[in-house]
Structure 1
Amino acid sequence: MDYTQERVATLHDYGDADPAAPAGRAAVVVPMTDREYAGLATERVFSELERVGPAEVVVPLRAPAERVPDFRDWLADFDLDLTLLWCDGPRVEGLLADAGLTGARGKGRDVWLALGVAARQDFVVLHDADTDTYEARDVRKLLFPLADGFDFSKGYYARVENDRLYGRLFRLFYEPLLAALQDTHSHGVLDFLGSFRYALAGECGLTSETARGLRVQREWGLEVGTLGEAFRLAGLDGAAQVDLGRYEHDHRAVSGPTGLSEMSEGVGAALFRAVEDAGVDVAYDEVRERYREHADRFVRAYGADAAFNGFEYDAAGERDQTGTYADAVQPPGDDDRLPAWDDAPLDPDAVAAAARADVTATED
């Protein structure tokens, strides 16, 4: 526990913080895929949301057509004003094609579709569906800064489970990479990005104006890309982070499809896109070399932290991971972000109507 402030306002939980917050003016976006159907963690999330009482819950769903009726029936059992936004339906796909917005499909694309619908409320909270430790007050914590005049709030937490440190992509890639950028470049965007205690957290809150102004990464890197946009839209004075305690959710392998190695490429691209957007001319070769140095320092520091607490820690394995992640230190490539809803050639009400029709059609 600490009470240290960062460059962005940092709201700590000193025990059982549960601030008053305008849940009745907020939409909660909970992206889901087929694998989350009726899972224990997901059941907990929606049961806790019943205690929150938001104005609306928007569930952007990526799943095959034959699974949609199961999701619809299961989610209907919760006492929530819930909008099921099936992102893979033919009518939704047709709208995207007509608007020239086809392309890579992933969590970011799903969230972007949901943000257009959710931003009809005053505030939007975004979080994942697979959190074993989720509590209703997490939503109120994320909403509180927005009601207090901030434009963006970000959750942070400890990734500690079963006497082990997790959050490897953050600890072993993002943190040392940002340190390398700060070594080699000086810019306010780096101060901003470095202020967030868990930059890869999926939990955040936005005013509707900020949500409509957000350009969104299509796949991996959604969370870092959102921070880059928060710098552009809210800045240091308009952003806050809130203590969500300790989070437990799914873990990924390093290699293989959807593994941490693949994710590091998306996270790296989103990070470099954010700093280049702000005007930083990245010296990639120098940053890559500095990253390796900082990664070794972080492995040593986290090893000491683990030993201090009597935790297991595989230092050699973590150093091997940093060698893999170094390959992701490269220019971000073409910008395929989805546009801000303020500028999109698409009406979010039309998306909601098309999604409703697509869901209904799966019943036939």
Structure 2
Amino acid sequence: MEYVQERVATLHDLTDPIPDAPTERAAVVVPMTEREYAGLAADRVLSVLERVSPARVVVPLRAPRERVGPFREWLSEYDLPLEVLWCDGPRVADLLERVGADGDRGKGRDVWLALGRAAEEEFVVVHDADTKTYDRSYVSRLLFPLAEGYRFSKGYYARVEDERLYGRLFRLFYAPLVRALLDETDAPLLRYLASFRYALAGEFAMTSDVARSIRAPRSWGLEVGVLGDAFDAAGFEGTAQVDLGAYEHDHRAVSGPTGLSDMSRSVGETLFRTLADHGVAPDFDTLPDRYREAALTLVEQYAADAAFNGFEFDRAGEREQVATYAEAVAEPAGEDGRLPPWSDAPLSPDDVVAAAVADAEEVSSR
């Protein structure tokens, strides 16, 4: 147990608290894909949210048309003010194409579609649906700093399960990459990004005006993109991070579609675009080697930590992951695919809701 403060306010789990928080003034966004359908983790999340009583729950759903009807029927069983936004229907696609916001699909795009609706409430909470240890304190903990005057709140936790260290993309890619970048420049944005104990956590909360300022990356770079925009909107003084305690969710393979390798490329691209927005131009000729050096140093530190606790640790496997992730340390190519902030979007949340609901009702009635 510790109580060390970082550059942003850090709220610790010292007493297993469920703090008073304005849940009745908050929308909770829970992105789902077809793999969450009737799953135990998703059921736990939704069942717990019934006891939290938020103002609304928005579920942006990425699923094939034949799964939409069963999904909506399943979600209707929960006693929640829940709205399903099917993200993959033809009306939604046409709407986005008309305003020039079409393109790749992914978690970031799904969350962005929901943020416009969710920001109608005073506060917005976003978290994943694959959390096996989901607890009713999570929403309250994320919201508590906002009630205290902060504008952005980020969750953190230790990814430790079955006597193993997880959180590999954060430990072996993001953290050493930011460390290598800080050795090159002391830019305020980098110091901000380095302040978070688990920067890639999918659990965060923000005031509605911050939610409307987010330029969401379309895929797995969402969390880094949110941090970049939170820096502009809230800064060090308006940001807090909150200990969510025990936390377990699904693990991904390194290779394959939606694996950690693909995710590292999305995270890296978003990180470098965010740095460019703030005038930071890394030396890409030397950065891959500097990243590897920082990452391999961390591997040895984690090996010592694992041995100290009697955990299993695959030193060779972690080094192989570092070599894989190093391929993502490259200057972004192509156009910036980030979606516009809702404060400046060429469409309204009502347009999105109307299209998504009409699409879902059409396929559900067949």
**TM-score bucket (shorter structure):** over 0.9
Which has the higher mean CA deviation after the structures are superposed, 167-176 or 330-339?
330-339
Structure-2 residue corresponding to 1:164: 164
Given that residues 165 and 306 in structure 1 are in contact (C-alpha distance below 8 angstroms), is that contact kept between their aligned partners in structure 2?
yes
> How far, CA to CA, are the matches of 2:39 and 2:361 in structure 1?
24
- For residue 157 of structure 1, report the CA deviation from its aligned partner: 0.3
> How far, CA to CA, are the matches of 1:283 and 1:232 in structure 2?
24
Structure-1 residue corresponding to 2:142: 142
Structure-2 residue corresponding to 1:273: 273
Structure-1 residue corresponding to 2:360: 359
- For residue 358 of structure 1, report the CA deviation from its aligned partner: 1.3
- Tell me the secondary structure at the aligned position of residue 199 of structure 1: coil
Matched, 1:348 2:349: yes
Which has the higher mean CA deviation after the structures are superposed, 153-162 or 251-260?
251-260
Q: CA RMSD in A?
A: 0.8
Structure-2 residue corresponding to 1:114: 114
- Tell me the secondary structure at the aligned position of residue 192 of structure 1: helix
- Tell me the secondary structure at the aligned position of residue 131 of structure 1: coil
The Cα offsets for residues 126-184 of structure 1, whole Å up to 9 and x where unpaired, read as: 00000001111100000111111111100000000000000011111111111100011
Given that residues 218 and 337 in structure 1 are in contact (C-alpha distance below 8 angstroms), is that contact kept between their aligned partners in structure 2?
yes
Equivalent residues in 2 for 1:69-108, closer than 5 Å: 69-108=69-108
> How far, CA to CA, are the matches of 1:287 and 1:183 in structure 2?
10
Question: Structure 2: which amino acid aligns with 1:63?
Answer: A
- Tell me the secondary structure at the aligned position of residue 236 of structure 1: coil
> How far, CA to CA, are the matches of 2:358 and 2:292 in structure 1?
51
> How far, CA to CA, are the matches of 1:260 and 1:343 in structure 2?
32
> How far, CA to CA, are the matches of 1:100 and 1:191 in structure 2?
34
Matched, 1:179 2:179: yes
- Tell me the secondary structure at the aligned position of residue 61 of structure 2: strand
Structure-2 residue corresponding to 1:32: 32
> How far, CA to CA, are the matches of 2:107 and 2:37 in structure 1?
16
Structure-2 residue corresponding to 1:65: 65
Structure-2 residue corresponding to 1:315: 315
Question: Structure 1: which amino acid aligns with 2:301?
Answer: A
Matched, 1:255 2:272: no
Question: Structure 1: which amino acid aligns with 2:17?
Answer: A
Structure-2 residue corresponding to 1:128: 128
The Cα offsets for residues 174-218 of structure 1, whole Å up to 9 and x where unpaired, read as: 111111000111110011000000001000001000000110000
Question: Structure 2: which amino acid aligns with 1:6?
Answer: E
- For residue 94 of structure 1, report the CA deviation from its aligned partner: 1.4
Amino-acid identity (%)? 65
> How far, CA to CA, are the matches of 1:323 and 1:16 in structure 2?
39
> How far, CA to CA, are the matches of 1:78 and 1:256 in structure 2?
34
Given that residues 19 and 144 in structure 1 are in contact (C-alpha distance below 8 angstroms), is that contact kept between their aligned partners in structure 2?
yes
> How far, CA to CA, are the matches of 1:332 and 1:123 in structure 2?
33
Q: Structure 1 unaligned runs (5+)?
A: none
- For residue 327 of structure 1, report the CA deviation from its aligned partner: 0.9
- For residue 255 of structure 1, report the CA deviation from its aligned partner: 1.1
- For residue 15 of structure 1, report the CA deviation from its aligned partner: 2.3
> How far, CA to CA, are the matches of 1:343 and 1:188 in structure 2?
26
Structure-2 residue corresponding to 1:331: 331
- For residue 258 of structure 1, report the CA deviation from its aligned partner: 1.3
Q: Structure 2 unaligned runs (5+)?
A: none
Q: How many residues align?
A: 364
- For residue 90 of structure 1, report the CA deviation from its aligned partner: 1.4
- For residue 332 of structure 1, report the CA deviation from its aligned partner: 2.1
> How far, CA to CA, are the matches of 2:348 and 2:211 in structure 1?
15
> How far, CA to CA, are the matches of 1:353 and 1:42 in structure 2?
25
> How far, CA to CA, are the matches of 1:42 and 1:15 in structure 2?
27
> How far, CA to CA, are the matches of 1:335 and 1:108 in structure 2?
14
Question: Structure 1: which amino acid aligns with 2:356?
Answer: A
> How far, CA to CA, are the matches of 1:44 and 1:304 in structure 2?
35
Structure-2 residue corresponding to 1:12: 12
Given that residues 41 and 130 in structure 1 are in contact (C-alpha distance below 8 angstroms), is that contact kept between their aligned partners in structure 2?
yes
The Cα offsets for residues 231-255 of structure 1, whole Å up to 9 and x where unpaired, read as: 1111111111000012111111111
> How far, CA to CA, are the matches of 2:262 and 2:320 in structure 1?
15
> How far, CA to CA, are the matches of 2:237 and 2:52 in structure 1?
28
Which has the higher mean CA deviation after the structures are superposed, 269-278 or 80-89?
269-278
Given that residues 154 and 204 in structure 1 are in contact (C-alpha distance below 8 angstroms), is that contact kept between their aligned partners in structure 2?
yes
Give the structure-1-normalised TM-score. 0.99
> How far, CA to CA, are the matches of 2:69 and 2:133 in structure 1?
28
Give the structure-2-normalised TM-score. 0.98
Question: Structure 1: which amino acid aligns with 2:345?
Answer: A
> How far, CA to CA, are the matches of 2:66 and 2:289 in structure 1?
49
> How far, CA to CA, are the matches of 1:235 and 1:286 in structure 2?
29
- For residue 226 of structure 1, report the CA deviation from its aligned partner: 0.8
Structure-2 residue corresponding to 1:303: 303
